[in-house]
């Protein structure tokens, strides 16, 4: 077991109707609020009006239009400018992981005098950040309970995971009802994102019986509840369990004391969505089973065997490689069954830029130090297998 230093100070207020707590949550944080959101789905479901009504005693400014794979330019830059111009006290992100991630970068940038990219690219360490509150509308990234965000910079094909303990939300307001209108394709992509977060912590060298059990519970619950959400989008219990499963995805609680995996699938996928702006969860679902097949060997075999038996109930008396290969196949079939396009070509990616992406990943993601080390050639092979 590895040493660790862990603290997640975020308060989670969870359940039906909990949005009524918003004013009391915001009050101690300040009067001037920048509300950040995406393409307007929060208006369709009535959440925007509800938020504005609850914030009637505050001074509210708005940054709409934050896109999936949130962009440094214009969203982060505009947000930082608005915070400085209007002397904002606190940020309220209303939306999914992209809105939240973008809001985190804004929170740090607002308290920094230079170019916010200095912070995101780790050239400069942030000294302060504005407080962040969020109202989540999509179960997926876990950004509501972690200190990180992923920001894309189009002109350089960069997609960087920016992490700083200053960026934990003060409070996340989680009402599963606001996820009822999430369309099926997004439900599936959110599930794949969360499944992969758990995989990146489960497929490691050094783990514990406890952490493995936590992760296996996550896998099983995510699969069963995703199916339920797809069948009946207004199944409160399934939406609620999905939401909680996703919330635990990235703050480390599922794997305290585990060794690091290097988050290889995320490393590879970040290039895919930086170059092609595809949906992150879909990219992960496509990469994952090919990555699994590529790294399966005598050393990694026991992890796949455990995964196969405990998550998919594969007969433990079978040959070990048979169990492992079945487990990989089950993973693929699950993603396929929830409607995810399982080939890069299905999401508009052909072989033309694969070597370029493989090179970019090899240079930037440090995957030669991953649980199963990946060279540029390995990465290229995984991408080619994913076509």
Torsion-angle region of 183 (φ positive above 0: left; ψ -120 to 50: alpha; else: beta): beta
8 Å CB contact between 287 and 268: yes
Nearer to a second copy, 106 or 166 (CB): 166
Nearer to a second copy, 171 or 383 (CB): 171
Nearer to a second copy, 230 or 256 (CB): 256
CB of 237 to a second copy, least distance (A): 6
Please give the Cα distance from 260 to 262 (Å, whole number).
6
> Residues with Cβ < 8 Å from 261, sequence gap 6 or more?
200, 201, 203, 204, 370, 371
In DSSP terms, 36 is beta-bridged to 63, 93
CB of 197 to a second copy, least distance (A): 14
Nearer to a second copy, 170 or 301 (CB): 170
CB of 46 to a second copy, least distance (A): 20
Please give the Cα distance from 85 to 63 (Å, whole number).
13
Nearer to a second copy, 139 or 362 (CB): 139
CB of 96 to a second copy, least distance (A): 20
CB of 173 to a second copy, least distance (A): 10
CB of 149 to a second copy, least distance (A): 21
8 Å CB contact between 142 and 249: yes
CB of 311 to a second copy, least distance (A): 11
The residue count for the chain: 387
Nearer to a second copy, 12 or 77 (CB): 12
The 3-state DSSP class for residue 323 equals helix
Nearer to a second copy, 175 or 378 (CB): 175
8 Å CB contact between 192 and 340: yes
8 Å CB contact between 218 and 241: no
Q: Distances from the Cα of 65 to the Cαs of 71, 123, 167, 386, in angstroms? A: 11, 28, 21, 32
Nearer to a second copy, 71 or 303 (CB): 303
8 Å CB contact between 297 and 180: no
CB of 5 to a second copy, least distance (A): 5
Nearer to a second copy, 18 or 384 (CB): 18
Instruction: Give the 3-state DSSP-derived string for 185-229, with helices as H, strands as E and coil as C.
Output: HHHHHHHHHHHHHHHHHHCCCCCCHHHHHHHHHHHHHHHHHHHHH
DSSP secondary structure letters along 16-41: TTGGGGHHHHHGGG-SEEEEE--SSH
Per the listing, tokens 């992960």 go with 284
Q: Cα-flanking dihedrals φ and ψ of residue 151, to 5°?
A: -120, 135
CB of 245 to a second copy, least distance (A): 6
8 Å CB contact between 250 and 143: yes
Please give the Cα distance from 55 to 96 (Å, whole number).
20
Residues forming contacts to a second copy in the complex (CB under 8 A) are 1-18, 176, 208-210, 212-214, 216-218, 220-221, 224-225, 236-237, 240-241, 244-245, 253, 256-257
């Amino acid at each position: 077991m590895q040493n660790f230093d862990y603290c997640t100070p975020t308060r989670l207020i969870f359940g039906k109707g909990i949005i009524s707590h918003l004013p009391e949550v915001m009050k101690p944080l300040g009067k001037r609020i920048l509300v950040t959101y995406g393409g307007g789905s929060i208006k369709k479901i009535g959440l925007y009006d509800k938020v504005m009504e609850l914030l009637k005693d505050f001074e509210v400014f708005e940054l709409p239009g934050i896109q999936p794979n949130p962009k440094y330019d214009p969203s982060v830059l505009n947000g930082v400018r608005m915070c400085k111009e209007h002397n904002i006290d606190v940020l309220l992100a209303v939306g999914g992981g992209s809105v939240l991630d973008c809001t985190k970068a804004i929170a740090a940038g607002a308290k920094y005098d230079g170019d916010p990219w200095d912070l995101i690219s780790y050239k400069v360490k942030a000294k302060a950040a504005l407080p962040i509150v969020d109202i989540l509308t999509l179960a997926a990234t876990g950004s509501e309970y972690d200190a990180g965000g992923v920001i894309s910079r189009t002109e350089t094909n960069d997609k960087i995971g920016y992490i700083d303990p200053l960026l934990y939300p003060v409070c996340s307001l989680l009402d599963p009802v606001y996820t009822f209108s999430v369309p099926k394709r997004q439900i599936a992509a959110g599930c794949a994102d969360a499944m992969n977060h758990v995989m990146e912590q489960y497929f490691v060298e050094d783990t514990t019986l406890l952490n493995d059990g936590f992760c296996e519970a996550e896998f099983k619950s995510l699969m069963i509840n995703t199916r339920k959400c797809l069948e009946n989008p207004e199944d409160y219990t399934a939406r609620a369990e999905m939401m909680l499963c996703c919330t635990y995805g990235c703050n480390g609680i599922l794997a305290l004391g585990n060794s690091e995996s290097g988050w290889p699938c995320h490393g590879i996928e970040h290039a895919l969505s930086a170059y092609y702006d595809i949906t992150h969860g879909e990219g992960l679902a496509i990469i994952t089973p090919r990555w699994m097949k590529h790294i399966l060997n005598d050393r990694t075999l026991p992890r796949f065997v455990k995964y196969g038996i405990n998550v998919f109930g594969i007969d433990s008396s079978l040959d070990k490689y048979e169990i492992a290969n079945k487990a990989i196949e089950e993973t693929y079939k699950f993603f396929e069954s929830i409607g995810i396009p399982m080939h890069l070509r299905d999401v508009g990616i052909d072989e033309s830029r694969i070597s370029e992406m493989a090179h970019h990943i090899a240079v930037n993601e440090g995957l030669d130090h991953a649980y199963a080390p990946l060279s540029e050639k390995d990465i290229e092979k995984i991408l080619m297998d994913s076509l």
